[in-house]
Structures are given as C-alpha cells and as structure tokens.
Amino acid sequence: MEYTRFGTTDLLVSPMGLGCLRMSEQGGQVDDVESIATLRMAFDLGINFLDTSANYGQGHNHQLIASALKGSQDKVIVHTKSGSPRTPDSSGSRSGSSPEYLTRVCEESLQRLEIEPLDIFCMSRVDPDIPIEESVGAMARLVEEGKTRYISLSEASADSIQRANKVHPVVSLQMEYSLWSRDPEDANIQACRDHNMGFMAYSPLGRGFLAGQFRALSELDEGDARLSSPRFQPENFQRNLQLLAQLEDLAKDKSATLAQLALAWLMAQGKDIIPIPGAKSRKHLEENFRAIEIELTPEDLARLDEIMPPGAASGMRLTGEQLSRVNI
C-alpha cells in the first residue's frame, strides 16, 4: 500500500482513513469490544489515519481510541475535531469557533486521547460571527504551546481557507464529498491545492446509501437522522435509487461492491483526496479496505461521471437549518 504525504506535513497517511463516529453514536447499539477490534484490525491492515471528534459520544470516542491505540501511538495519526457546543436538541451550533472553546476542547482531547501533542486539531465549523483570523490565531497558539502539531478546518469556504492560511498554515480541509455530493469540486478542492493542503472526504458513501445498505425507507430505524435528510424524502429517495441501479451495473463489471466502487472513485480523484468511511465492524472495514485494490480506467471514470455528474442527486445533502451552520 502506497502512503501519501499529507499536505505540507511530515505525516505519511494511508490512501484511506477510518471515520470513528459510528463507534460511539448515530449507528445503533454501541459495542466497544467490536469497535476496538475494528480499530486494531485497521492498524494491522496498514490504515494509519483516524478521524474523530470531541463531540462523538461526548468523549466516549476519544476514550475508545485511546484504549485501541495502546502500544501503537507512534504508528497511527489521529485527526480530531473540536465539535460544537451542544444545543438542547443536540444539533450543535457554530459557536465552537471561539478561542476559549477551541483551547478548552484541545486540552480535553489531549487528556482523553492520551496523546501529546495531538497530531492534527481541526475546527469543526466556521462561525460567521467570529472572524476566522481569531479562531485560527487561537489554534496557532496551541501549536506554539506544543499541544497540537498541525491544525485543520472542516466545511470551510475557499475564502475562509485563504484567510486562515494568512494567519497560520492549515494542513487540510474536511468536507462531505462523494459521487452524490460533489460540491467541493466547485472551489474548495482547488483552494486546498493552491495551499498544498490535504482533503478529507467525509460521508464518502452517502450516509450508507451509496453502499446499497438499504433499498427502502422502511429499513431505517425510527428516529434515524437520515429520515430528515432531503435526499431521503420519499420522492427524492426513489429517484436516487434509479442512480444506484446504474452504479450497481458498473460495480458488477468491476467485480466490486457498491461501497468499493464509490471509494475507488474518490481515491481516483487525486492522491490528496483521502476518504474516511466509517466502520464499526471488522466486516465493513475489510470490505471498504479492498477498494484500495480497485483500479478504475479512464472509461470507468467517464461512465461514473455520466451516471452521477455534479448535481445528479435528488435533494440537498443537508436540511436548510444544517446548511446554515456550514461555511461553504
């Protein structure tokens, strides 16, 4: 497996990372034993890049990773986000960009992860009421104090990326990116390349849809957050299933699963694009990992662009309220 230098850092990362959110929340019953086994299997396979957040499970995710990392801290790179203060409905807010909040969460993350310094500390959201220069300035001080080696951003616009880099080098951007969420291609990816930043693609499987995990809304549990997504509303969902059927034909031609095809497409967009699919079981981890072995030809890529060009998905990727909290 070929490792890639991550942005301007001295870190060499695997072509695919591992998103750890569902090990602590939003994925049904939590199974710490299986999660730790999955993390250690990832390390054995050579996946050395984890994505987590202070918000995931209200600290549980950090503690889980700390347990799995024992004896492997020097082999694994942890990218941890600040998260945002939880509102009464647990939806979060954008006030997680204040210097005071970023400083406090970084220090809490150090204690929970049992890593010092952090590898990469990421600001989860850009708050329009707080100049990004102030937020990044606080993160720069964390670097100076030896609390984190590098800093990064999530869901930030091209303009915010440029302004942030004038204060301190930002090593990466994390943003939703997949075959059915191609918004970053408009400006965000190019902004990253202009500043020699890495790009982390979260939700690379479209919240499970692109993996073919379900073919009917009735298969989702009551209260599943996806049921409020515009793309999972009945009419949009049926239209999106038609796109999935076309992807399935190509996946069969490549002797791949839908998930592997979607991940292979992302990795074919450039070595600076690192997908971070979530997995909370060894079975799903191994399936995702095999995507690294799939080589897509120019003809395959052209066919995928024909099936799912930008804007092909029916429905917005987030609700209006959720979009109001991202800076794209």
pLDDT for 284-310, tens place per residue?
Answer: 999 999 999 999 999 999 999 999 999
- 168, 197 Cβ separation under 8 angstroms: no
Contact 171, 198 (CB under 8 A): yes
Count H helices and E strands in the chain, helices first: 11, 10
Domain that holds residue 90: 4-323
Strand runs labelled E in 214-281: 273-275
Domain of 113: which CATH number? 3.20.20.100
Number of domains composing the chain:
1
pLDDT computed for residue 86 by the predictor? 63
Of residues 93 and 22, the one with the higher pLDDT is 22
pLDDT at 66: 97
Q: Which residue has the tokens 């994390």?
A: 174
pLDDT of 325: 65
| Residue 328 resides in a domain | no
Is pLDDT above 90 for 324? no
- Indicate the pLDDT class of residue 90, thresholds 50, 70 and 90: very low
pLDDT digit string (tens) for 38-70? 999 999 999 999 999 999 998 999 999 999 999
- pLDDT at residue 304, rounded to an integer: 97
- Mean pLDDT computed over every residue of the chain: 92
Interval 168-226: pLDDT, tens? 999 999 999 999 999 999 999 999 999 999 999 999 999 999 999 889 999 988 888 88
Name the burial class of residue 222, with classes exposed (0-12), middle (13-18) and buried (19+) by CB atoms within 10 angstroms of its CB: exposed
Output the pLDDT for position 222.
Answer: 85
| Residues written for the chain | 328
Say which of 56, 101, 177, 202 is annotated catalytic: 56
Q: Above 90 in pLDDT, residue 320? A: no
Residue 31 corresponds to which tokens in the numbers above? 């199974």
Give 163-199 as a DSSP string. Answer: HHHHHS---EEEEE-BTTB-GGGTTHHHHHHHTT-EE
Whether the predicted pLDDT of 104 surpasses 50: yes
Alpha-carbon dihedral angle through residues 111, 117, 119, 120, given to the nearest 10 degrees: 80
pLDDT band at 134 (very low <50, low <70, confident <90, very high): very high
End-to-end CA distance of the chain: 33
Q: Does 177 fall in a domain?
A: yes
Residue 56 is among the residues annotated as catalytic for this protein: yes
> Is residue 14 in some structural domain?
yes
Q: How far apart are CA 106 and CA 121, in angstroms?
A: 7
